[in-house]
């Protein structure tokens, strides 16, 4: 989220759902017919097998059906959702030998940073860091005053490409700029002091470098703010852009849909809210 590069994330109510069971082969499919890896290269399968390996249990095979609503390579945490699904699904199949803390650490180690995977597991608004294989995190509920509108484009931006756009070093003043805004963003969302958000989303570490990879990206931010957003930021590595909106502004979403349909038809506004629960597992009959 904005200045919280690789450290601050929030769970929103956009979901991937997966059906998993042991079988004597690898049987992977997508509910809606998407083109997905259907062998050992599938990320969910790899994460599930890692849990079996850690627990010292041979994995006989896996039947997996994917039902994904999170668009891939859009900066919305689709890979983290798949990583978390493989880990918690396999753990459930084995009877729960790993504690939630173990799952959090494993997910962040696989992802390389915890800002997506930790809120995907815990729900809510999370600040976290990964140090020597362990995740240190705080999960707090945010004030129930904010909705989120994700502006999702019809084009992709690979995370690796977005990473390559970043400089190796930054000026000291840019680090201070982000530290102060990350703290202000956290305090504002927790307390509901919303007037700070327009300043709190400022960033010098990644957004200025990545907007060059996103056609119309900066215009999208200006338009979202012009329609009345409290603050707008690049979601993850992009290209999705998220606007924070006052819940009392009941017409923001409809205004955004009409404006974007006319001016930016390649971008789709999606109204979202914070998910305070996180990943769940249900046993099927």
pLDDT tens digits, one per residue of 215-264 = 999 999 999 999 999 999 999 999 999 999 999 999 999 999 999 999 99
Considering the chain, what percentage of its residues have pLDDT values greater than 90? 93
Spatial contact of 202 and 182, defined as CB atoms under 8 Å apart: no
Radius of gyration (C-alpha) of the chain in whole angstroms: 19
Spatial contact of 234 and 75, defined as CB atoms under 8 Å apart: yes
- Per-residue pLDDT for 285 more than 80? no
**Which residues have CB under 8 Å from 61's CB, separation 6+?**
22, 23, 24, 25, 26, 27
C-beta neighbour count of 185 within 10 angstroms = 27
pLDDT at 284: 82
pLDDT at 224: 98
> 151-208 pLDDT, tens per residue?
999 999 988 899 999 999 999 999 999 999 999 999 999 999 999 999 999 999 999 9
Q: What is the pTM of this model?
A: 0.94
C-beta neighbour count of 234 within 10 angstroms = 27
For the chain, first and last CA: distance in Å?
Answer: 39
* ∠ Cα 69 66 57 (to 5°): 135
pLDDT at 228: 97
Rounded distance, CA 60 to CA 247, Å?
49
When pLDDT is cut at 50, 70 and 90, the band that residue 66 belongs to is very high
Rounded distance, CA 51 to CA 68, Å?
22
């Amino acid at each position: 989220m904005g200045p919280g590069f690789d450290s601050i994330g929030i769970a929103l109510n956009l979901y991937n759902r997966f059906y998993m069971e042991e079988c004597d082969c690898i049987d992977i499919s997508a509910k809606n017919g998407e083109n997905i890896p259907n062998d050992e290269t599938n990320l969910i399968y790899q994460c599930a097998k890692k849990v079996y390996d850690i627990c010292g249990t041979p994995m006989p095979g896996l039947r997996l059906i994917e039902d994904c609503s999170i668009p891939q390579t859009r900066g919305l945490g689709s890979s983290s959702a798949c990583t978390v699904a493989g880990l918690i699904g396999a753990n459930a199949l084995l009877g729960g030998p790993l504690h939630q803390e173990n799952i959090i650490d494993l997910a962040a180690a696989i992802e390389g940073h915890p800002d997506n995977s930790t809120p995907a597991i815990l729900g809510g608004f999370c600040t976290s860091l990964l140090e020597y294989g362990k995740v240190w995190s705080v999960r707090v509920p945010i004030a129930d005053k904010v909705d989120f509108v994700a502006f999702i484009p019809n084009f992709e931006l690979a995370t690796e490409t977005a990473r390559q756009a970043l400089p190796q070093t930054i000026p000291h003043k840019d680090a201070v700029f982000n530290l102060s805004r990350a703290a202000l963003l956290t305090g504002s969302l927790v307390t509901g002091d919303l007037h700070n958000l327009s300043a709190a989303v400022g960033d010098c570490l990644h957004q200025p470098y990545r907007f060059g990879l996103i056609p119309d990206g900066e215009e999208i931010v200006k338009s979202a703010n012009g329609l009345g957003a409290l603050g707008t930021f690049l979601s993850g590595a992009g290209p999705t852009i998220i606007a924070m909106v006052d819940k009392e502004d009941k017409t923001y979403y409809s205004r955004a849909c009409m404006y974007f349909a006319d001016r930016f038809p390649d971008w789709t506004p999606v109204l979202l809210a914070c998910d305070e629960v996180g990943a769940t597992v249900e046993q099927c009959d």
